[in-house]
């Protein structure tokens, strides 16, 4: 029965892991070395106060259409948020993602040695953009699991197409929709997978087969996306969340175009620490191969143009669709593109042997080293800043408690903000403009939230952070904030002794002018 064939991808994965045990150990060791410390860290991170202070909450995921994330929280029993359980699931899923990627593309004729598969998986798993994504540790496992679902959905789609198995088509559809509901960037990642499958089957397929593959991919993606959109439209209110990210509707078309061009330039020239030299190297390699085919008048030039063009353009699909440069945490397409293109050239050159293949492998190791170095430095930057934030929190809390009357339940108002405290080995805000480079005491000043009282909003963030440390203080009203601003005019900034003022109604902490 066709329904029994649904177990084929799972049995393929089990057999692959058993036959490539050394690869499995290498991927596990890499995941632990790079991510274990961050995964189990209790350092504060953006939005964590909402989850930690209000466990058993679904945060705002229902408002932004992430029904898959909510369902996954309940399915694994982590709807009452447990950071350590989340960390374990995160690390296990990362390992499964690495091995799943290797297994999938081993199936699609990329049959290099285990060291090639390891470099391929590691290039995808270790990428600087993930420093921003995985800082949101209350959804880090879910995001990785969504990527794993895309891997599985791609395999079931290909099984359905080759075997004419409608059960496999249906399961691929379900997995796609579920992954889109976990994190919307999986929509673009699934497109990347379809392009990669096309690219890896160019040599083994004829024109009619390639046309059929593209048609099936387009149809399957369209149905998946429509089903996801219908679910969101009927049951969730995500319109405002998504519309705020669409730059085409901002009214300034020229600014939107210039921002996109600057974004593409940063990636192409590796001008940003989050965007390493791996992608520009892949662009050069693709252009060189296409030029070689033109000069040698090789066949299948057009399919390669389509495959390379689609892969190289895929990291920009989200930005072009919205008219807004993609945030770092949403750029999971770029790691995939770099890893797949490197794997393609490694597999293509291995068949021909020679020095070029060895050079390709060496370059892969260099790319991996560069990516890992940047990622680990970003983690180090975050650790230093969060340690300093906690020391400052302890000092402020001690100052507040020293001046408060017993059992006083007064609201606390924070005026101004504090810059991140770091050392010379850390990335600066200019080098890594991300939440990980900012202090807890200045989060509200980079979010761009249109509030009338920005000091009030920053106060809420800081008090939420204090509550995660076990110290609860009342959040002031907007009227109290205005009174505190007037009282703070004559106060000195932190850490002066006069930077903390207690009145009958409230407590003021002046961080800066």
Phi, psi of 507 (to 5 degrees): -120, 135
- Summarize pLDDT for 147-156 with one digit per residue, the tens: 999 999 999 9
Mean pLDDT in residue range 178-187: 91
pLDDT band at 165, cuts 50/70/90? Answer: confident
Q: Is the predicted pLDDT of residue 244 greater than 60, yes or no?
A: no
429 close to 438: Cβ distance less than 8 angstroms: yes
**3-class secondary-structure state, position 34:** helix
Better-predicted residue by pLDDT, 371 or 4: 371
Mean pLDDT in residue range 440-445: 80
- Summarize pLDDT for 374-411 with one digit per residue, the tens: 999 999 999 999 999 999 999 999 988 887 665 467 88
Beta pairing partners, 508: 413, 501
How many C-beta neighbours within 10 Å does residue 234 have?
A: 7
- Predicted pLDDT of residue 453: 62
Mean pLDDT, the chain, rounded, equals: 86
- Summarize pLDDT for 261-297 with one digit per residue, the tens: 999 999 999 998 999 999 999 999 999 988 888 888 7
**3-class secondary-structure state, position 272:** coil
**Biggest CA pair distance of the chain:** 86
Residue 400 token pair: 């507040």
Q: What is the C-alpha to C-alpha distance for residues 3 and 203, in angstroms, rounded to an integer?
A: 31
Nearest to 97 by CA among 121, 116, 76: 121
Q: Is the predicted pLDDT of residue 449 greater than 90, yes or no?
A: no
- Summarize pLDDT for 73-112 with one digit per residue, the tens: 889 888 888 889 999 999 999 999 999 999 998 877 666 6
Kindly report which listed range (254-263, 304-313, 360-369) carries the lowest average pLDDT score. Answer: 254-263
Mean pLDDT in residue range 198-209: 84
Element (H, E) at 500: strand 500-502
- Predicted pLDDT of residue 243: 52
Element (H, E) at 264: helix 253-268
Q: Is the predicted pLDDT of residue 214 greater than 80, yes or no?
A: yes
- Predicted pLDDT of residue 448: 46
Over pLDDT 90: what percentage of the chain?
A: 37
Nearest to 323 by CA among 233, 218, 251: 251
Write the CB contacts of 173 (distance below 8 Å, at least 6 apart in sequence).
153, 220, 223, 224, 227
Q: What is the C-alpha to C-alpha distance for residues 62 and 292, in angstroms, rounded to an integer?
A: 51
Q: Is the predicted pLDDT of residue 450 greater than 50, yes or no?
A: no
168 close to 157: Cβ distance less than 8 angstroms: yes
| Residue 440, CA distances (Å) to 213, 333, 392 in order | 49, 29, 10
Task: Put residue 443 in one of left, alpha, beta given phi > 0 → left and psi -120 to 50 → alpha.
Answer: alpha
Over pLDDT 70: what percentage of the chain?
A: 92
- Summarize pLDDT for 40-70 with one digit per residue, the tens: 988 878 788 888 888 877 777 777 778 889 8
- Which residue is listed with tokens 């789609």? 157
Q: What is the C-alpha to C-alpha distance for residues 51 and 86, in angstroms, rounded to an integer?
A: 12
Residue 405 token pair: 């009357």
Q: Is the predicted pLDDT of residue 459 greater than 90, yes or no?
A: no
pTM score, two decimals? 0.91
79 close to 56: Cβ distance less than 8 angstroms: yes
């Amino acid at each position: 029965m066709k329904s029994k064939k649904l177990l084929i991808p799972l049995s393929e994965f089990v057999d692959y892991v058993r036959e490539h045990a050394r690869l499995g150990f290498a991927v596990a060791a890499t995941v632990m070395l790079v991510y274990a410390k961050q995964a189990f860290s209790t350092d504060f991170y953006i939005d964590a106060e909402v989850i930690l202070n209000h466990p058993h909450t679904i945060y705002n995921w229902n408002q932004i259409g992430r029904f898959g994330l909510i369902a996954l929280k309940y399915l694994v029993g982590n709807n009452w948020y447990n950071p350590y359980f989340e960390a374990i699931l995160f690390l296990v899923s990362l390992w499964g993602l690495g091995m799943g990627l290797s297994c999938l593309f081993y199936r699609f004729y990329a049959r290099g040695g285990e060291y090639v598969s390891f470099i391929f998986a590691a290039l995808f798993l270790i990428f600087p953009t993930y420093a921003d994504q995985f800082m949101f540790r209350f959804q880090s496992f879910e995001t990785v699991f969504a990527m794993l679902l895309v891997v599985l959905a791609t395999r079931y789609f290909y099984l359905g197409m080759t075997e004419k198995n409608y059960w496999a088509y249906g399961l691929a559809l379900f997995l796609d929709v579920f992954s889109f509901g976990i994190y919307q960037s999986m929509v673009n990642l699934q497109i990347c997978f379809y392009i990669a499958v096309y690219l890896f089957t160019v040599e083994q397929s004829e024109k009619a087969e390639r046309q059929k593959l593209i048609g099936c991919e387009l149809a399957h993606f369209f149905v998946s996306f429509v089903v996801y959109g219908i679910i969101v439209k009927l049951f969730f209110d995500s319109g405002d969340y998504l519309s705020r990210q669409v730059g085409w509707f901002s009214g300034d078309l020229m600014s939107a175009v210039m921002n996109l061009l600057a974004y593409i330039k940063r990636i192409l020239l590796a001008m940003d620490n989050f965007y390493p030299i791996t992608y520009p190297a892949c662009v050069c390699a693709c252009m060189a191969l296409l030029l070689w085919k033109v000069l040698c008048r090789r066949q299948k030039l057009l399919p390669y143009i389509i495959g390379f063009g689609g892969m190289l353009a895929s990291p920009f699909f989200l930005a072009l669709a919205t008219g807004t440069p993609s945030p770092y945490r949403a750029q999971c397409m770029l790691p995939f593109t770099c890893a797949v293109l490197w794997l393609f050239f490694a597999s293509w050159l291995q068949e021909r042997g020679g020095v070029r293949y060895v050079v390709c492998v060496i370059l892969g190791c260099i790319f991996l080293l560069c990516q890992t170095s940047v990622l680990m430095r970003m983690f180090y930057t975050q650790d230093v800043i969060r340690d300093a934030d906690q020391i400052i929190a302890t000092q402020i809390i001690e100052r507040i408690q020293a001046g408060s009357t017993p059992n006083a339940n007064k609201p606390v108002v924070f005026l101004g903000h504090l810059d991140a405290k770091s050392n010379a080995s850390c990335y600066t805000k200019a080098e890594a403009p991300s939440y990980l480079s900012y202090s807890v005491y200045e989060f509200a000043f980079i979010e761009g939230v249109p509030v009338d009282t920005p000091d009030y909003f920053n106060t809420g963030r800081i008090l939420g952070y204090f509550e995660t440390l076990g110290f609860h203080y009342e959040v002031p009203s907007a009227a109290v904030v205005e009174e505190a601003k007037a009282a703070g005019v004559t106060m000195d900034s932190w850490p002066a002794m006069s930077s903390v003022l207690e009145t009958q109604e409230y407590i003021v902490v002046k961080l800066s002018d």
